[in-house]
């Protein structure tokens, strides 16, 4: 074994993998004399034994090589010496390089305009694309593989701007933590907590401390999600970091005088939209007698239903021209029809006229129920609409029949399993 | 929504007079060693490490073209090194102040680190008492070194892993215009800096440890990393800490709020004094540091 000039412990091969020449001329000449190939190790061993004391030829003698020690052959894979390209990460470009590319793009744009016989001053990106498509016609299907000439801003990935000044001093005082925006946010939140504590102490000293102060309204809003906070901070944070931030905000909220920092806290809360406002309520119509009625549709599995709900009625239900007792002999289906009216408490008020087709009796009952609920929206107040939504009356049942799969008896049932 | 993201300007590192000044300062290692260390007891590893720092700390700037008055610029940098206490830091604190800030209180006898025994005065009711005379000397040296580094425009990083004082230290660092790191120390911050940050990043020139232990009572990784990267360190070592790898250890209490506030105040005053002095000198000589 010996150590070549780049400091790598060498095995019996004569040349270092990095390509630098082995330093020991004496060893080299001796090896050449012995007609050494890379494989023959016994010959080298004997020579190394003879030239045991390396003396001044040795560049670095880390271990005192005693000639009597048996020499071990170490095999090292060549992949160790190759550069690990994956570990370097995405390629980074310097600002000078990008500026040069921009310059070249501008010059090239003018050349292109001249080539196409157009005015270089008013040559837009669409003109460039057109010209390139004309000059370099490509039959490739993949649009992204075709020749393209775009501004370097669009081609090179955006990198964060240099975060220090001309002398190398970073701008932000928490730069060396790695996550400067996130930690500075934590710092500010803690600052506010301390400010509120000081305020509390002042009030206590004056004897004006009370626990029932103006509280911040938090109903109807939620904390910002981790992704939204990452977007605001322009840097990535981990789940634990996010949880720590929410913990600190909750701590801030738990203090009696937190209303001092209300607007700061509300920046981190997002208002939830009221879901019930999303439903389109069918218009309330009036027939020639002045009676109000509304029409609505509903679907379940493959059953389609259409309902007309008439006001000032006596609770008669007619489906497909027949009385509902005749159409739905099963009690469960009749209960499904009743339920929306029972829920809003308008049982005997309406006359229902409906038509339904498709699927089976249960699905038809479900379709009718949805249609009745939707028709009821125009007779009912805003708060009731929200209640109906939460009761699940306005949600269309998404379940459909699952397909049969090959190799199985049905959708889930498998063929008989035989052990052998 | 107040944006915490950094939207910076594109800066290119320009070669200017300031760089020349820093570079010329770096070359005068012998003077530095002589100027900084005073007093009877000299920490032997101090001067060698300091000189090693200034010769090895890699800045890849090439020397700029000759600044208009190089002699004056050199004088600005070299003159403070000839004086033992150029920034008059001995008037910032007295032994009595240290005592009243409870700097002499160490941990219990069982927590004592073997290498801290030279710095201890003794122990009373099982509590170790730190020798304040030694502390005063070490603190004087540490403050002097910090002042010189700040005078020459070095980057100073305040490090501590005590959650009780993290906010205080970050505030102190911000007020002096320096940098702080009181959070979880990621593995290769110093040793793998070109990948953790960006290729051309400048590492701190001095690291101040306000507590050398981390939250599990082991030595802070930053001490070993700074030693690896040839960055000098100043550290407040309590009686349960290991002072070996720290360039300018200051034996003292790191648990009491009064003591920590005092240290923060002292370091802030030193750095501000040094920076003001530098600005004053430059105004006097009529050289502007920034182009």
Q: What is the pLDDT along chain B (291 residues), one digit of tens a residue?
A: 443 433 333 343 334 333 333 434 443 443 444 344 433 344 444 444 444 344 334 443 434 444 556 888 888 899 999 999 999 999 999 999 999 999 999 999 999 999 999 999 999 999 999 999 999 999 999 999 999 999 999 999 999 999 999 999 999 999 999 999 999 999 899 999 988 888 889 999 999 999 999 999 999 999 999 999 999 999 999 999 999 999 999 999 999 999 999 999 999 999 999 999 999 998 988 765 444
Among B248, B253, B285, B241, CA closest to B113:
B241
A245 lies within 8 A of chain B by CB: no
pLDDT digits (tens, 9 = 90+) for A306-333: 999 998 888 899 999 999 999 999 999 9
Q: Among B5, B13, B198, whose Cβ lies nearest the Cβ of A166?
A: B13
> With contacts defined as CB-CB under 8 Å, which chain A residues touch B200?
162, 168
Subunit contact A194:B173, Cβ cutoff 8 A = no
How far is residue B185 from each of residues A247, A319, B193, B200, measured CA to CA in Å? 21, 73, 13, 21
CA distance A353 to A170: 75
The answer to pTM > 0.95 is: no
Q: 């006898």: which residue's tokens? A: B109
- Is residue A44 a contact partner of residue A12, using CB atoms and an 8 Å limit? yes
- B102 to chain A nearest CA, in Å? 25
Q: How confident is the model at residue A276 (pLDDT cuts 50, 70, 90)?
A: low
What pLDDT shows up at residue B263?
96
Three-state helix/strand/coil letters over chain A: CEECCCCCEECCCCCCCCCCCCCCHHHHHHHHHCCCCCCCHHHHHHHHHHCCCCHHHCCCCCCCCCCCCCCCCCCCCHHHCCCCCHHHCCCCCCHHHHHHHHHHHHHHHHHHHHHHCCCHHHCCHHHHHHHHHHHCCCCCCCHHHCCCCCCHHHHCCCCCCCCECCCCCECCCCHHHCCHHHHHHHHHHHHHHHHHHHHHHHHHHHCCCCCCCCCCCCCCEEECCHHHHHHHHCCCCCHHHHHHHHHHHHHHHHCCCHHHHHHHHHCCEEECCCHHHHCCCCCCEECCCCCEEEEEEEEECCEEEEEEEECCCCCCEEECCEEHHHHCCCHHHHHHHHHHHHHHCCCCCCEEEEEEECCCHHHHHHHHHHHHHHHHHHHCCHHHHHHHHHHCCCCCCCCCCCCCCCCECCCCCECCCCCC
pLDDT classification of A235: cutoffs 50, 70, 90: confident
Spell out the residues 6+ positions from residue A172 whose beta carbon is closer than 8 angstroms to its own: A163, A180, A184, B6
Q: How far apart are CA A353 and CA A367, in angstroms?
A: 14
Say whether A160 and B155 touch across the interface (CB within 8 A).
Answer: no
Helix boundaries (H) for B28-131: 29-36, 45-56, 70-82, 95-100
pLDDT band at A69 (very low <50, low <70, confident <90, very high): confident
Cα distance from A174 to chain B (closest Cα, Å)? 6
Whether residue A235 and residue B5 make contact (CB cut-off 8 A), yes or no, is: yes
- pLDDT for residue B103: 95
pLDDT in tens, A327-343: 999 999 999 999 999 99
Using alpha carbons, select from A265, A207, A111, A401 the residue that is nearest to residue B2. Answer: A265
B210 contacts B8 by C-beta, under 8 angstroms: no
HSE on the CB side for B19, CA within 13 Å? 20
- Round the average pLDDT of chain A to a whole number and report it: 83
The answer to whether the CB of B80 falls within 8 A of the CB of B71 is no
All residues at 6 or more sequence positions from A206 whose CB lies less than 8 Å from its CB, including other chains: none
DSSP string, B255-291: S-HHHHHHHHHHHHHHHHHHHHHHHHHHHHHT--S--
* Pick from A178, A190, A235: CB nearest B167: A190
Q: Which residues of B touch A163 (CB under 8 A)?
A: 6, 8, 197-198
Contact B24, B74 (CB under 8 A): yes
Q: Identify the CA nearest to B143 among candidates B23, B16, B272.
A: B272
Which single residue is written with the structure tokens 């002589």? B34
Q: Do A96 and B201 touch (CB under 8 A)?
A: no
Q: What is the pLDDT of residue A65?
A: 54
Q: Do B9 and A161 touch (CB under 8 A)?
A: yes
Using CA atoms, how far apart are residues B107 and B125, in angstroms rounded to an integer? 11
Nearest to B203 by CA among B39, B10, B58, B18: B58
**Residue A207, beta-bridge partner list:** none
| DSSP calls for B165-233 | THHHHHHHHHHHT-EEE-S---TTTTTTHHHHS-TTPPPPSEEEES-SB-TTSSB-HHHHHHHHTT--E
Instruction: Answer whether B4 sits within 8 Å of A161, measured CB to CB.
Output: no
Q: What is the DSSP letter of B98?
A: H
Rounded Cα distance between A25 and A41, Å, is 18
Query: In which region does residue A218 sit, left (phi positive, over 0), alpha (psi from -120 to 50) or beta (all else)?
Result: alpha
Which element (helix H / strand E) includes B156?
strand B156-159
- If interface means Cβ-Cβ distance under 8 Å, which residues of chain B face chain A? 1-14, 16, 18-19, 22, 153, 155, 157, 167, 170, 173-174, 177-181, 183, 186, 189, 195-202, 204, 290-291
Answer whether A176 touches B (CB < 8 Å): yes
**Count of residues in chain B:** 291
Cα separation, A373 vs A393, in Å, equals: 6
pLDDT band at A14 (very low <50, low <70, confident <90, very high): very low
Q: Does A164 lie at the interface with B, CB-CB under 8 angstroms?
A: yes
Tell whether the model's pLDDT for residue A268 goes beyond 60. Answer: yes
Which position has the token pair 């910090």?
Answer: B146
CB B59, CB B26: distance < 8 Å? yes
In a mutational test of the B interface, the residue from A90, A168, A181, A185 whose CB has the highest number of chain B CBs within 10 Å is A168
Closest residue by Cα to residue B65 from B99, B26, B14: B14
Q: Which two tokens stand for residue B34?
A: 């002589």
Give the tens place of pLDDT for each residue, B42-51. 444 444 444 4
Phi (first) and psi of residue B122, to 5 degrees: 165, -165
Report CA-CA distances (Å) from A376 to A366, A370, B203. Answer: 15, 10, 70
């Amino acid at each position: 074994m010996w150590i070549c000039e780049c400091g790598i412990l060498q095995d019996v091969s004569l040349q270092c993998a990095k390509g630098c020449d082995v330093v020991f001329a004496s060893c080299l000449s001796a090896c050449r004399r012995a007609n050494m190939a890379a494989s023959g190790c016994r010959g080298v061993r004997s020579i190394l034994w003879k030239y045991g004391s390396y003396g001044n030829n040795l560049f670095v003698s880390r271990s005192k090589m005693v000639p009597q020690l048996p020499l071990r052959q170490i095999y090292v894979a060549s992949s160790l010496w190759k550069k690990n390209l994956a570990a370097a990460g995405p390629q980074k470009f310097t600002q000078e390089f990008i500026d040069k590319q921009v310059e070249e793009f501008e010059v090239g744009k003018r050349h292109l305009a001249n080539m196409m016989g157009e005015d270089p001053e008013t040559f837009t990106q669409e003109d460039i694309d057109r010209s390139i498509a004309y000059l370099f016609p490509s039959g490739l299907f993949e649009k992204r593989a075709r020749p393209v000439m775009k501004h370097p801003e669009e081609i090179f990935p955006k990198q964060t701007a240099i975060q220090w000044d001309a002398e190398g001093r970073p701008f932000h005082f928490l730069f060396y933590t790695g996550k400067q925006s996130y930690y500075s946010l934590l710092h500010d939140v803690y600052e506010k907590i301390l400010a509120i504590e000081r305020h509390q102490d002042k009030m206590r000293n004056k004897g004006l401390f009370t626990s029932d102060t103006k509280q911040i309204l938090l109903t109807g809003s939620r904390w910002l999600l981790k992704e939204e906070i990452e977007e605001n901070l322009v840097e990535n944070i981990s789940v634990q970091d996010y949880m720590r931030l929410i913990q600190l905000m909750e701590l801030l909220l738990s203090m009696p005088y937190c209303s001092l920092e209300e607007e700061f806290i509300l920046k981190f809360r997002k208002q939830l939209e009221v879901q019930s406002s999303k439903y389109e309520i069918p218009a309330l119509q009036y027939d020639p007698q002045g009676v109000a009625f509304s029409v609505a549709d509903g679907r379940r599995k493959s059953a389609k239903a259409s309902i007309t709900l008439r006001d000032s009625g006596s609770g008669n239900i007619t489906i497909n021209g027949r009385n509902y007792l005749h159409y739905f002999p099963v009690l469960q289906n009749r209960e499904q029809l009743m339920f929306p009216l029972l829920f809003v408490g308008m049982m005997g008020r309406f006359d229902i006229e409906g038509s339904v087709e498709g699927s089976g009796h249960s699905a038809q009952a479900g379709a009718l129920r949805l249609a009745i609920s939707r028709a009821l929206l125009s007779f009912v107040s805003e708060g009731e609409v929200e209640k109906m939504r939460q009761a699940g009356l306005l949600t269309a049942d998404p379940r459909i029949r699952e397909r049969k799969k090959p190799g199985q008896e049905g959708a889930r049932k498998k063929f008989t399993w035989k052990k052998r | 929504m107040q944006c915490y993201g950094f939207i910076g300007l594109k800066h290119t590192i320009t070669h200017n007079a300031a760089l020349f000044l820093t570079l010329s300062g770096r070359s005068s290692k012998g003077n530095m060693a002589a100027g900084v260390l005073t007093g009877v007891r000299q920490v032997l590893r101090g001067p060698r490490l300091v000189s090693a720092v200034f010769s090895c700390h890699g800045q890849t700037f090439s020397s700029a073209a000759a600044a208009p008055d190089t002699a004056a610029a050199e004088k600005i940098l070299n003159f403070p090194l000839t004086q033992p206490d150029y920034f008059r830091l001995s008037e910032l604190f007295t032994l009595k102040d240290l005592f009243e800030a409870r700097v002499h209180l160490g941990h219990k006898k069982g927590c004592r680190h073997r290498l801290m025994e030279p710095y201890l005065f003794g122990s009373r009711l099982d509590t170790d008492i730190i020798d304040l005379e030694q502390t005063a000397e070490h603190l004087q040296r540490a403050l002097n070194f910090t002042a010189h580094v700040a005078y020459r425009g070095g980057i100073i990083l305040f490090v501590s892993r005590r959650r009780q004082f993290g906010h205080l230290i970050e505030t102190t660092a911000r007020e002096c215009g320096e940098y702080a790191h009181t959070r979880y120390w990621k593995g290769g911050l110093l040793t793998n800096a070109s990948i953790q940050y960006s290729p051309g990043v400048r590492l701190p020139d001095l690291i101040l440890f306000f507590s050398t232990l981390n939250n599990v009572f082991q030595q802070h990784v930053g001490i070993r990393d700074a030693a690896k990267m040839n960055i000098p360190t100043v550290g407040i070592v309590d009686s349960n800490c290991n002072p070996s790898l720290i360039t300018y250890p200051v034996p003292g209490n790191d648990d009491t709020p009064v003591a920590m506030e005092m240290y923060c105040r002292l370091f802030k005053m030193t750095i501000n004094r040094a920076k003001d002095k530098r600005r004053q000198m430059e105004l006097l000589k009529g050289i502007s540091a920034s182009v």
